[in-house]
Each structure stands twice: as structure tokens, then as C-alpha cells.
């Protein structure tokens, strides 16, 4: 419900936000694809921002050459390298630069030079929530669909999914607008469990996949609203504490804008897909289908060389930006919901 999220974003009176830099149904499988145990780690010199190694001069020279290439030259070169030739010129340029950088860093890593890696898995979340066509400023959105799509960052594949509907408590009767927008019927939510029960099953799903224990992972969302607004409100409505594993996340809109150097107006889900040469698959505003399409964007960005990192967090009920200089950390092990009482 990305367009609808845009409409309600300015009506935030439940979460205080700090100023942030805008440019900064297959069945779930029971087991994850194995992660390569020998995945390279960040070298001490690079983690401190030291780019004096000669490899970076070679990369800079290559980038200058790529910047002078025409769109057709870029397409031909990408085809020669058996890389994706879809997308606008800036996207193809970034893809070629990232490919060359990755190749040089891999070569250098084999010789004991710098390389980088972050999370083993990325978990995409895109809630659907109760809504009205013209939401009043004090409207409390309740989560009615909790989907998750899991990406293995080592083989760049979507490896698992989770989806459950949720019974709303404050406004149990869905509006006609909400039903039409999301495709979620009254019967679906009437037969669903309340949020604390669904959240407990989410935690069990994450624990079964050893996320936060054996494997490093991070939550990824399309914008700030899912965690800073919807989950924050829902936890207060359900009288449970905000789950620690969801206190930091990757806002893919920020990551996309920073990586491809585009303004915030070009970071809506439909626009990101279009600029990458992709088309939406499924039903728009289905939480699971939206999550899958967001995951496809994330996979394409990883293929293009983007290092997706946590860039937003919740602290004391406030939405804050995470600076790029902050240490890279995975989400903590998930635990069962805890009462506010």
C-alpha cells in the first residue's frame, strides 16, 4: 500500500520523527539454503574508511571511462559480460561500475586485500493496515496482514516466505475502501488471530531459521511507515512492547536513492521497478506480493553491487536516521512478545 502510505505519512501524530536525509503464493519452505561459511568479512582498514589501497585508484579510472560511455555502448558491454541490459542509462552505468568494482575487490581479496560483506539474510516486511479513504488525523491504523519475504544475500535468491492475516481490535469492521485497496476481505480478518498471537508465530518462524543466532540478518522495508508508524501503533494498541528485532531496518527507498543517485520522487515502488527494467508481479497492495516485489528490487540492487545496510531505527518512540559511519550490526535474536503491563 505504498501510495496510500504516502497519503498518510504527513498525518503522523503518533510517532515523532527527526529530520532524516532522504538520500542517505508459494508455500514457505521449512529449511534455508545453506550460507557459505567462508563469506569474506570487512577488513579493518576498510571499516575505518581507508581507501588508500591501489585497487581503488584502478576502480576510479574505470568509473571515469564508464561515465563517458553512451547508452548503447553500456548495453553492448553489459551483454558481453552476460549482465542484465535492462534499465535506464544511469542504472546500467551503476551496474557496470559495480561489476568491475566487485571483480577487482574479489581479485584483491584473494591476494589478501580489502573486501566487504554484511548480512546473511534480509527479511522484507510490508504490512497492510486498516484505513479509510480520507483518514482522520487521529486514525489508528491496525495491521491486518503480516508478510515476510526472506532473501539469501549469498546466492541472491528469495528462499522463504511467511504470511498471516490479523484480526483488528479497535476497528474490527474493514472499510469498503480498505477491502478494495488491499483485497483483504472481512472474512479473512474475522477468522484471523489477534496481533500478539501472529507476532509470536513470526518470532517462531525467524527462530526456526536461526536468524540472529547462527545467521546475521536485517529487516528491510519500503519506506519508514511500516516500523515507525504501523508496528509502533499496533504494539500500543495490543499493549505489548515494541519487538527489539524490528528497532533497526533498511529503508530501501533511501538505499535506492543513494545508490543510483536519484531524488526521493523516484523511489516509489512502481518507479523503482520501472527504472530497473522490471514489472510488478502479483496484486498491488497485497502485503505478500508487495514484499516479493520489494525483494526483487533488493536482489537487483545487490546484483548491481549495492551494500544494503541498516539506515533507520526507532529510539524512545522516535524515528531516527542511522549514519553510514555507524558499525554494521545484524538484528538481535527474536523473542516472544512482552506485555507493557
Q: Is 128 a catalytic residue?
A: yes
What are phi and psi for residue 280, nearest 5 degrees? -65, 135
Neighbours of 187 (CB within 10 A): 9
Q: Which of 99, 128, 142, 164 is catalytic?
A: 128
Q: Determine whether 325 is exposed, middle or buried from the number of CB atoms within 10 Å of its CB (0-12, 13-18, 19+).
A: exposed
Nearest-angstrom CA–CA distance, 183 and 60:
49
Strands 128-129 and 318-321: unpaired
Q: Which of 142, 145, 285, 312 is catalytic?
A: 285
Do the Cβ atoms of 119 and 171 come closer than 8 Å?
Answer: no
Which neighbouring-strand residues pair with 40?
A: none
Residues in the chain: 341
106: alpha, beta or left? (left if phi > 0; alpha if psi -120 to 50): alpha
Q: Determine whether 210 is exposed, middle or buried from the number of CB atoms within 10 Å of its CB (0-12, 13-18, 19+).
A: middle
Do the Cβ atoms of 212 and 333 come closer than 8 Å?
Answer: yes
Q: Is 312 a catalytic residue?
A: no
| HSE, side-chain direction, 13 A CA sphere, residue 273 | 16
Do the Cβ atoms of 208 and 28 come closer than 8 Å?
Answer: no
Q: Hey, is 251 helix, strand or coil? A: strand
Nearest-angstrom CA–CA distance, 55 and 108:
7
Nearest-angstrom CA–CA distance, 282 and 70:
34
Q: Hey, is 158 helix, strand or coil? A: strand
Q: Measure the CA dihedral 21/157/335/223, to 10°.
A: 20
Catalytic residue ranges? 128, 285
Amino acid at each position: 500500500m505504498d501510495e496510500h502510505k504516502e497519503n498518510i505519512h504527513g498525518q503522523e501524530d503518533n510517532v515523532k520523527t527527526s529530520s532524516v536525509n532522504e538520500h542517505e503464493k508459494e508455500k514457505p519452505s521449512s529449511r534455508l539454503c545453506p550460507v557459505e561459511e567462508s563469506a569474506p568479512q570487512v577488513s579493518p582498514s576498510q571499516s575505518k574508511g581507508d581507501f588508500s589501497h591501489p585497487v581503488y585508484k584502478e576502480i576510479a579510472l574505470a568509473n571515469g571511462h564508464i561515465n563517458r560511455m553512451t547508452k548503447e555502448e553500456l548495453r553492448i558491454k553489459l551483454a558481453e559480460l552476460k549482465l542484465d541490459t535492462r534499465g535506464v542509462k544511469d542504472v546500467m552505468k551503476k551496474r557496470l561500475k559495480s561489476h568491475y568494482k566487485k571483480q577487482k575487490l574479489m581479485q584483491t581479496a584473494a591476494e589478501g586485500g580489502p573486501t566487504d560483506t554484511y548480512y546473511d539474510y534480509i527479511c522484507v516486511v510490508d504490512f497492510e493496515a486498516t484505513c479509510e479513504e480520507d483518514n482522520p488525523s487521529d486514525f489508528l491504523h491496525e495491521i491486518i496482514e503480516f508478510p515476510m519475504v526472506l532473501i539469501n544475500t549469498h546466492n541472491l535468491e528469495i528462499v522463504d516466505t511467511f504470511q498471516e492475516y490479523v484480526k483488528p481490535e479497535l476497528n474490527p469492521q474493514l472499510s469498503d475502501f480498505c477491502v478494495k485497496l488491499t483485497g483483504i476481505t472481512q472474512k479473512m480478518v474475522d477468522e484471523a488471530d489477534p496481533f500478539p498471537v501472529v507476532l509470536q508465530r513470526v518470532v517462531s518462524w525467524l527462530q526456526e531459521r536461526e536468524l540472529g543466532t547462527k545467521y546475521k540478518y536485517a529487516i528491510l522495508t519500503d519506506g519508514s511507515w511500516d516500523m515507525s508508524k504501523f508496528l509502533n501503533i499496533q504494539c500500543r494498541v495490543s499493549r505489548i512492547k515494541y519487538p527489539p528485532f524490528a528497532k533497526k531496518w533498511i529503508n530501501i527507498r533511501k538505499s535506492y536513492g543513494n545508490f543510483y543517485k536519484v531524488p526521493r520522487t523516484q523511489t516509489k515502488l512502481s518507479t523503482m521497478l520501472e527504472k530497473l527494467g522490471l514489472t510488478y508481479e502479483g496484486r498491488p497492495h497485497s502485503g505478500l506480493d508487495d514484499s516479493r516485489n520489494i525483494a526483487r528490487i533488493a536482489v537487483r540492487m545487490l546484483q548491481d553491487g549495492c551494500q544494503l545496510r541498516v539506515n533507520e531505527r526507532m529510539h524512545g518512540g522516535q524515528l531516527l536516521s542511522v549514519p553510514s559511519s555507524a558499525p554494521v550490526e545484524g538484528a538481535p535474536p527474536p523473542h516472544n512478545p512482552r506485555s507493557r503491563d
